[in-house]
Amino acid sequence: MSLPFESAYRHGFARIAACTIPLVIADPAANADTVLASARELSDEGVAVAVFPELCLTGYSIEDLLMQDAVLDGVVAAIERLVEASIDLLPVIVVGAPLRHRNRLFNCAVVIHRGELLGVAPKSYLPNYREFYERRWFAPGDDQLGEDIRVGGLEAPFGPDLLFESLDVPGLVVHAEVCEDVWVPIPPSSSAALAGATVLLNLSGSPITIARAEDRKNLCQSQSLRCLAAYAYAAAGMGESTNDVSWDGQTMIYEGGLLLDETERFPDGPRHSIADVDLDRLRQDRIRQGTFDDNRRTREPYFRTVHFELDPPATETGLRRPLDRFPFVPDDPERLALDCYEAFNIQVSGLMQRMQAIGDPKPVIGVSGGLDSTHALLVIARAMDRMGRPRSDILAYTMPGFATSEHTKSNAIALAETIGASIETIDIRPAATEMLEQIGHPFAEGEPVHDITFENVQAGLRTDYLFRLANQNGGMVIGTSDLSELALGWATYGVGDHMSHYAVNAGVPKTLIQHVIRWVIAQEGHEGGSTDLSARAREVLQSVLDTEISPELVPAGQDGKMQSTEDRIGPYALHDFALYWILRFGIRPSKIAFLAEQSWKDQDAGAWPPGFPDEDRYAYDLPTIVKWLKVFLQRYFAFAQFKRSAIPNGPKVSPAGSLSPRGDWRAPSDGNASAWLAELDAALPEYASKR
């Protein structure tokens, strides 16, 4: 079945739910009714897998009532009813129940889907300490490999060695473990992940005590990160006996260490954490992290696979997960502040190490009044402070050309002066005119020809001056070009922003730089961030932040409007969005378009980064997203690699990766974008390019 572009299931997602319900002690029929009510609601919401708490068909806290035949017979009848009622429901339903098998009773996860009992997974590790007393009633299930079980008139595989794999949702492979199983040093889910499980479920009883909720979150987060998997956890809540303990009904879903959703604790009714798990991301991470599968080679986990067909809905589903408009810029203020602190200090420490290793040269930098050179100057100033060197040793130069505005020039000079750097102005226009004359360019004869030669003569001369000034003054040229420009190839090869002795910004994307500058402004007097900024310096920095991004290589037109980078190559917001998902996860372009539309279609929906002005918030529709995505794909895969293959040293900053050929990204300089553009055209033929 072909799913529509608007369906999250088409793009490698699977909707997972972790559920807690109010239950009735020792009443399997009533509890089955509650499970079914939730399952029907979740089916309407497009949920693929729904996990419920441990022993939720009887209650975890019924103690010796677990061994009463009336209760155990009721469990069998409840399971048969759930199986029958599930025939027209979408989710794989995973419920907790005590089941008899041979000579013992087992604490089980019962897996049901569309009228079939798919399998039963017994709890492997039984707590028998403090408030727990499970070995009084249950047998450990860790030795039940390869077994089958009868449940009334039903028969199914039984054991801790079961994986449940969807045949029509690629990458959806489910494993269930029960409560204590995740608290042991090597949980069953670890072996299951090595065997291919991507969605790990935990049916939990877990009475609540002070701080236990944080322990559970730490375990689930760690297990999802270590196993490169989703981890869905559902704890018992309302209705459990409070003889000697209490219950909080905690539910949560993690994916690769990221919290996707959680519910409030101590609820007064049924609650569901619901999230769309990115199966592509998990698969890509496992492919990249080869040691993940190497670990399997030393353990050789054995699992049986039970297949099922989910038959996901062929309708628009939306997307149920946190999604940043700016993937390099967290929406959470504390996380953003920490990212800015780390980014800035990675750059500072990288520059310090390089300068100290080569004899403490004077840093030489060209300042334009733009974001990148401004940020690089702040990094240099902080490095000089930490090395105990005078800022006057910073040799800053502004080199106005044919299109330099008075605004940016004055910002460059004012910033350098307020920082305490030495600043000089070198007018490159005479030298540029002479070069244009010597090569016979029509601009030298007065014709308004502003072609690539005209632009690059200016960019090249600026670099020539900086390197010769470094030679003359015992200096090193500090590069200013950022990660986003390297992705697009927005630099003049061998000169301009492309070349330096050390490139401090090479690992920082354009959309993050402005936030790091804001953070530096806000860190006055704080350890790790202060650059001892004056009020005037902060004023100039704000002016830089408010200035439109421009290379300033082409004079203003008749309308007085200066050359705009984003008018020419597209918005950095969308380019950084595509860069993140391609560099970090290698996902297909149609999925990037889907995610970008979900993120950008409504400026009033979702969170924006801290400090982002309300009046500057904007939206992009799908045609605009696709237009600029094609530009990105063409430039990234078919054009810019030859420039990236020859970039100078610079520190990696973002966990998404760097574009250094010595670091994260190695690619042929003579590549092409055909496969990526074809995939996008096939998914969205209404926007297909005519080739």
Active site residues: 54, 123, 179
Q: Return the amino acid letter for 603.
A: Q
| Three-state DSSP class for residue 290 | helix
The backbone torsions φ and ψ at residue 467, rounded to the nearest 5 degrees and listed phi first, read: -70, -40
Asked if residue 81 lies in contact with residue 95, where contact means CB atoms within 8 angstroms, the answer is: no
**Residues 489, 495, 501: CA angle, nearest 5 degrees:** 100
CA dist., res. 161 & res. 143, Å (int):
10
CA dist., res. 653 & res. 328, Å (int):
11
**Residue spans of beta strands (DSSP E) within 290-339:** 304-308
Q: Return the amino acid letter for 657.
A: G
CA dist., res. 309 & res. 300, Å (int):
27
Asked if residue 250 lies in contact with residue 265, where contact means CB atoms within 8 angstroms, the answer is: yes
**Within 10 A of 100 (CB to CB), how many other CB atoms are there?**
17
Q: Is the dihedral of CA 587, 588, 589, 593 positive or negative?
A: negative
CA dist., res. 684 & res. 626, Å (int):
9
> Which residues, in sequence order, are bridge partners of residue 254?
231, 259
Structure tokens at 486: 């390297």
Please name which of 417, 378, 394, 418 lies closest in space to residue 537, comparing C-alpha atoms.
418
Q: Return the amino acid letter for 59.
A: G
Please name which of 90, 128, 92 lies closest in space to residue 107, comparing C-alpha atoms.
128
